[in-house]
């Protein structure tokens, strides 16, 4: 999945004082903008997350608001797989009605992860539009296995993104080319993650891309946290 983010600030642009700061593949001016995520073809899965907020939606992060605006953007046959309470739910865009049916109300809130399946022979793009959360941000891993992603469009090792894991925690990243998971475990003995840079740092954990979803398994006795303060670079 190639992801390009453009975060634009109406205030700075209107003042004619816009500046641009490149941070990996994130180009940031302020807090409003879009992120393009390429979804791989040929009935393969891509694991993404919703990296922006939409205050204008009053909390309604339905499929037809987030990944398929108005139900007219994504091709028929597209599927979205969400994970809650230990099980998957499937939403499919019908090739007959050209709609998502009742699944159109499936919620994809900021910071949640989910799979998108592209049944076509060519890639397509999902465009996320919204605002970058700023200030104090609190994300919850919960108990057991959860499917999450960074609430802000930022890449880095897990600790760089504000997450504090405990010994025994695991992260499962999804490798699109092989369609398999890659597992990273924080050792219960050494307290370290795999030392395989650039994909994982022994202290900071696995590297997470912008707009990437991943599974986090909290099967240990401790309580991992994900609380941080974020300000868009100027």
Express each pLDDT in 173-187 by its tens digit: 999 999 999 999 999
pLDDT at 1 (0 to 100): 55
What contacts 12, CB < 8 A, 6 or more positions away?
18, 19, 29, 30
Maximum pairwise Cα distance, the chain? 55
Instruction: Please state the rounded mean pLDDT for residues 40-60.
Output: 94
Q: Given pLDDT bands bounded at 50, 70 and 90, which one contains residue 39? A: very high
Instruction: Output the pTM of the full model.
Output: 0.87
Percent of residues, the chain, with pLDDT higher than 70: 87
What's the rounded Cα separation, in Å, for the pair 63 and 46?
16
Tokens representing residue 198 in the block: 């650039």
3-state secondary structure of 171: strand
Q: Where are the beta strands (DSSP E) in 102-176?
A: 113-118, 124-131, 135-139, 144-149, 156-157, 163-164, 170-175
Domain segments of the chain as ranges: 38-131, 135-230
What's the rounded Cα separation, in Å, for the pair 158 and 193?
10
pLDDT at 29 over 60: no
Distances (CA, A) of 232 to 37, 133, 167: 20, 9, 31
Instruction: Please state the rounded mean pLDDT for residues 203-219.
Output: 96
What's the rounded Cα separation, in Å, for the pair 214 and 83?
11
pLDDT in tens, 140-167: 898 899 999 999 999 999 999 999 999 9
What's the rounded Cα separation, in Å, for the pair 3 and 35?
7
Tokens representing residue 225 in the block: 């946290």
pLDDT at 13 over 60: no
What's the rounded Cα separation, in Å, for the pair 37 and 45?
13
Percent of residues, the chain, with pLDDT higher than 90: 78
What's the rounded Cα separation, in Å, for the pair 32 and 9?
6
Better-predicted residue by pLDDT, 14 or 106: 106
């Amino acid at each position: 999945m190639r992801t390009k983010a453009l975060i634009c600030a109406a205030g700075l642009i209107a003042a004619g004082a816009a500046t641009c700061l490149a941070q990996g593949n994130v180009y940031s001016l302020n807090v409003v903008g879009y992120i393009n995520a390429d979804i791989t073809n040929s009935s393969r899965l891509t694991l993404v997350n919703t990296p922006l907020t939409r205050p204008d939606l009053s909390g309604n992060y339905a499929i037809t608001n987030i990944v398929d605006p108005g139900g007219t953007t994504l091709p028929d046959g597209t599927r979205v797989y969400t994970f809650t309470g230990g099980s998957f739910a499937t939403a499919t865009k019908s090739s007959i009605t050209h709609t998502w049916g009742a699944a159109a109300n499936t919620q994809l809130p900021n910071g949640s992860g989910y799979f998108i399946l592209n049944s076509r022979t060519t890639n397509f793009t999902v465009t996320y539009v919204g605002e970058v959360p700023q200030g104090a941000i609190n994300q919850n891993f919960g108990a057991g296995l959860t499917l999450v992603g960074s609430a802000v469009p930022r890449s880095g090792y897990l600790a760089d993104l504000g997450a504090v894991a405990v010994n025994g925690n695991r992260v499962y990243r999804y490798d699109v080319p092989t369609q398999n998971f890659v597992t990273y475990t924080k050792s219960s003995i050494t307290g370290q993650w795999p030392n395989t840079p650039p994909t994982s740092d022994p202290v900071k954990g696995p590297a997470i891309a912008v707009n990437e979803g991943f599974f986090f398994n909290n099967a240990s006795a401790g309580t991992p946290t994900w609380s941080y303060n974020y300000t868009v670079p100027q």
